Amino acid sequence: MESRRVAQEGGKGILPDDIESKPLIGVPTRQSADLVGKGAEKSQWRIKSIVTVALTVLTSSQAILIVWSKRAGKYEYSVTTANFLVEALKCALSLGALWRIWSTEGVNDNNKLFASVDEIAVCTIPAALYLIKNLLQYYIFAYVDAPSYQILKNFNIVSTGVLYRIILKRKLSEIQWAAFVLLCAGCTTAQLNSSSDRVLQTPLQGWVMAIIMALLSGLAGVYTEAIMKKRPSRNINVQNFWLYVFGMIFNVIAIVVQDFDAVMNKGFFFGYSLITTLMILNHALSGIAVSFVMKYADNIVKVYSTSVAMLLTALVSVFLFNFHLSLAFFLGSTVVSVSVYLHSVGKLRR
């Protein structure tokens, strides 16, 4: 169970999902670079919409692949190696995108791969935060069972909002705060099942660890956004390249610490299947979409996008896997939908 959990989590890698490669999303490189420069509001809104939809669709299909792979049987492969491959793939995609940019635009100050020590150093921080969080994940299961952990993970929503306010100093209107509380309550409601009440028996240590993990996760997201936005004109592929280099390094550490024997005895690719390959591809693309969202939108959009994706996943699963939707799911979806509505209405009135 634990390895599965990590597989779901780990899809996002030990690093935040932060690589972008424009051709994959369908926005031509030059165009988007121009747009950021000019700050053309309408086009920015268009990019924002496209990346948000892309993230939502990719996250939904990600969850569906997980369900599919669960149905197909147990995970046999090592999760840490898969995480490493996700990081490596994103790294390769960002290099490929840079290659295209260099060949059309030439190398300039914004798209050169070389970066200052300061610029590179900050890229270790999100990676380190995710490493700590993933290590904690092994300890929290001593206090919290897996279904309860799924429920407690919704703290991420609140922690992201709070840290977004405190660290990035971005303001949300009162109505948007209310919408954020509703998003958290709605997502949790949609996940309710007959054993959910056990979460209330979680011991204090479990609550504290869940809150710490939510803060770490929120902090990594917010920190990544800060990195991406510090130099708006800086090419996103370069920023991501460095973020993912550290993602690869930290995942090598994770392989050595957790799966060294297994990899040595069975080989790096033991247990890989078609689904595994698709999941790695999907996680890499989702990471790229998150990266776009961080650069052109923000953490709040990311949270909404992944929350809506969770609901879409359940709906699609009804058709694909004959899932039965619960009343709690309908109620939670209603609350999440109203939350999305209020978030946009609240913005207009700000």
Binding residues (CB under 8 A) for a copy of itself: these are: 151, 174-175, 178, 181-182, 185-186, 188-189, 192, 194, 196-197, 199-200, 325-328, 331-332, 334-335, 338, 341-342, 345, 349
The answer to whether 80 and 258 have CB atoms below 8 angstroms apart is yes
CB of 159 to a copy of itself, least distance (A): 16
Q: Which is nearer to a copy of itself, 42 or 349 (CB)?
A: 349
CB of 173 to a copy of itself, least distance (A): 10
What gap in Å lies between CA 281 and CA 86, rounded to an integer?
7
Q: Which is nearer to a copy of itself, 169 or 349 (CB)?
A: 349
Q: Which is nearer to a copy of itself, 237 or 339 (CB)?
A: 339
Q: Which is nearer to a copy of itself, 216 or 314 (CB)?
A: 314
CB of 187 to a copy of itself, least distance (A): 10
CB of 180 to a copy of itself, least distance (A): 10
What gap in Å lies between CA 126 and CA 146, rounded to an integer?
25
Alpha carbon of residue 170 to chain centroid: 20
CB of 42 to a copy of itself, least distance (A): 24
| Pick from 334, 289, 269: nearest CA to 51 | 289
Contacts of 346 (CB under 8 A, 6+ apart): 172, 173, 174, 175, 176, 178, 179
Between the alpha carbon of residue 194 and those of residues 2, 151, 198, 322, the distances in Å are 21, 13, 9, 19
Based on its alpha-carbon atoms, the radius of gyration of the chain, rounded to whole angstroms, reads: 20
**DSSP-derived 3-state class of residue 170:** coil
The answer to whether 4 and 75 have CB atoms below 8 angstroms apart is yes
Q: Where are the alpha helices (DSSP H) in the chain?
A: 2-10, 22-25, 29-38, 41-72, 79-105, 117-122, 124-140, 146-152, 155-166, 174-191, 204-230, 236-266, 274-296, 299-321, 327-349
Q: Which is nearer to a copy of itself, 76 or 197 (CB)?
A: 197
| Pick from 335, 326, 4: nearest CA to 194 | 326
Q: Which is nearer to a copy of itself, 226 or 338 (CB)?
A: 338
**DSSP-derived 3-state class of residue 221:** helix
CB of 184 to a copy of itself, least distance (A): 8
CB of 314 to a copy of itself, least distance (A): 14
Q: Which is nearer to a copy of itself, 58 or 158 (CB)?
A: 158
Q: Which is nearer to a copy of itself, 78 or 339 (CB)?
A: 339
CB of 343 to a copy of itself, least distance (A): 11
What gap in Å lies between CA 24 and CA 286, rounded to an integer?
11
What token pair was written down for 293? 């969202």
